[in-house]
Amino acid sequence: MNIDALAREISAGKPVQSLRMADDHWPELDCQGASFADGVFERVQFSNPILADARFTSCRFVSCRFSHAELAGAHFERCNFTREDTKGCSFAFSNLQRAVFGACDLSLAVFDRSELFAVEMRECNLTGAKFTKADFSRALSRKQIETRASFHACKMDLADLCESRLPGCSLAGSRLREADLSGADLTDADLTDCDLFQAILDGAKLSGADLTGAEVSGLTLTALADFAGLRIGDDQMFRLLDAIGVSVRVRQR
């Protein structure tokens, strides 16, 4: 499809079906609110694209790079951002505030210094994904900052969330085996039913976090920066205390 035909479809509000692009740059078009389905984009450079509130359904992105991309409010459903050799896509200096990813494969994706306030990821594969200086917050005033993000039932094994600020955010039901959460701020976070087996949590803040039902094997409380008010279940208490050398004896009545 040539650029003029693409522009006409977008301006007419028609869904763009089965678009194919390879080894190219995304055209300078205003694609706000545009809809794409079953497209394939290989080695495409999305530099400064206007894709706010755009919707992508069952699209495939192969070795693509989104740089300074305007993706606020964009929706990605059942999209694939990886390829057979496991190289993922990258999002650098991009606006992904309120973006939604549903059932997408984002394994080994890189989110580099991008804005991710209120991002929502549901049942996504984020194995080995890196969140490098990603910002999940927005400033409401000079002194008030709001942080919001949701990762629901995502696969996040080996993901790098080192030093991420996620206070009050939800990772409920997600699998974070061997993920790097060192130095992360998870104050008041919802970690219910998460799998944190061998996750790296050295220096992390878990004060007020809810770990009810989570797999906590390998979690050492003394390695945390803060865990005041941490919420856990009875069965987890024995494992966490045993990990720091405390033997709990239950008195028989």
Mean pLDDT of 163-180: 97
pLDDT band at residue 248 using 50, 70 and 90 as cut-offs = low
**Burial status of residue 3 (CB atoms within 10 A of its CB: 0-12, 13-18, 19 or more):** exposed
> What is the DSSP pairing of strand 60-62 with strand 40-42?
parallel
- The fraction of the chain above a pLDDT of 90, given in percent, is 77
Residue 70: helix, strand or coil by DSSP? strand
- C-alpha torsion sign, points 61, 155, 86, 166: positive
Count the neighbouring beta carbons within 10 Å of the beta carbon of residue 77. Answer: 16
Are the C-beta atoms of residues 98 and 116 closer than 8 Å to each other?
no
pLDDT band at 179 (very low <50, low <70, confident <90, very high): very high
Q: Quick one: average pLDDT of 118-128? A: 98
| pLDDT at 85 (0 to 100) | 67
- Helices H / strands E in the chain, number of each: 2, 17
Contact call for residues 191 and 172 (beta carbons, < 8 A): yes
Name the nearest CA neighbour of 65 among 40, 48, 53. 48
> DSSP string of 21-41?
EES-B--S-B-TT-EEES-EE
CA distances from 62 to 35, 57, 104, 155 (A): 19, 15, 13, 20
pLDDT-based confidence at 203, cuts 50/70/90? very high
CA distances from 164 to 75, 97, 131, 136, 180 (A): 23, 16, 8, 8, 10
**Model pLDDT, residue 1:** 59
Q: Give the tens place of pLDDT for each residue, 218-229.
A: 788 889 999 999
Q: Parallel, antiparallel, or unpaired for β 137-139 and 145-147?
A: antiparallel
Which of 69, 38, 40 has the alpha carbon at shortest distance from 52? 69
Cα separation, 62 vs 83, in Å, equals: 6
Average the pLDDT over 156-183 and give the result: 97
pLDDT at 143 over 70: yes
Q: For residue 242, what pLDDT is reported? A: 72
Q: How far is it, in rounded angstroms, from Cα 210 to Cα 149?
A: 16
Question: Residue 244 above 90 pLDDT?
Answer: no
Output the average pLDDT for the chain: 93
245 has a pLDDT exceeding 90:
no
Q: Across residues 60-84, what is the average pLDDT? A: 95
As a whole-number percent, the residues of the chain with pLDDT over 70 amount to 95
Per DSSP, helices labelled H in the chain are: 3-11, 234-243
Average pLDDT over residues 165-193: 98
Mean pLDDT value of segment 144-152: 96
Can you tell me the mean pLDDT for 158-183?
Answer: 97
